């Protein structure tokens, strides 16, 4: 009985070593599995049109919907980029989209098109401050303007740790982490 136990233990150890080595030498494949880049051509198209890093859009989509176009938040945000119907209606007006319907937010192309434009808009509104733009994406532009006005941040830069809304603070931190991972995995390496 002890011999069988030792053989099993040895076999499990060997299998664990093989799995570890497979992961070690194939970490990028594991990374792309955990951090997919679905709809890459659509993301890159609208990122280019709006002057936004496509990997930032992928990081937002990862956090917002995990690339599920049918995602819906408890508050009613819809689609890949989790846009609220009222915000979607406003964005559609800015983009000159005729006959907008909130269900279009569940479609890949309109969701990414509108989300890319909105991220670009927020970056402009907050002078390129990525953390402020992300906070506004999640917590609203008015709230972020209020936070910036109430605090005396160096160069008026929003600090993630000082965002008053826990949900928004966590959203910004997670998107920033995702963005670093997407940049590591998908930037072309020399």
Q: Which residues are catalytic?
A: 64
Instruction: Quote the CA–CA distance of 189 and 178 in Å, as a whole number.
Output: 18
Task: Give me the DSSP letters along 122-178.
Answer: HHHHTTT-HHHHHHHHHH-HHHHHHHHHHS--GGGPPPGGG-S-HHHHHHHHHHHHH
- Distance in angstroms (rounded) separating the CA atoms of residues 57 and 37: 10
If phi > 0 it is left, if psi is from -120 to 50 it is alpha, else beta; for residue 35 that is beta
Q: Is 72 helix (H, G, I), strand (E, B) or coil?
A: strand
β partners of residue 83: 78
DSSP 8-state secondary structure symbol assigned to residue 35? S
């Amino acid at each position: 009985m002890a011999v069988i136990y030792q053989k099993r233990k040895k076999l499990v150890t060997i299998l664990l070593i093989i799995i570890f080595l497979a992961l070690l030498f194939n970490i990028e494949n594991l990374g792309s599995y955990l951090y997919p880049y679905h709809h890459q051509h659509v993301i890159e198209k609208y990122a280019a049109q709006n002057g936004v890093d496509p990997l930032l859009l992928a990081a937002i989509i990862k956090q917002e919907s995990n690339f599920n176009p049918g995602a819906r938040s408890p508050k009613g945000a819809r689609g890949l980029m989790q846009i609220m119907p009222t915000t979607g209606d406003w964005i559609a007006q800015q983009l000159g989209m005729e006959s907008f319907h909130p269900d279009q937010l569940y479609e890949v192309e309109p969701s990414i098109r509108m989300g890319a434009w909105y991220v670009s808009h927020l970056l402009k509104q907050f002078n390129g401050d990525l953390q402020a733009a992300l906070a506004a994406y999640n917590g609203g532009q008015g709230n972020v303007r209020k936070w910036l006005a109430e605090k005396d941040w160096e160069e008026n830069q929003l600090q993630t740790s000082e965002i008053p809304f826990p949900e928004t603070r966590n959203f910004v931190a997670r998107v920033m982490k995702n963005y670093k991972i997407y940049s590591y995995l998908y930037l072309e390496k020399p």
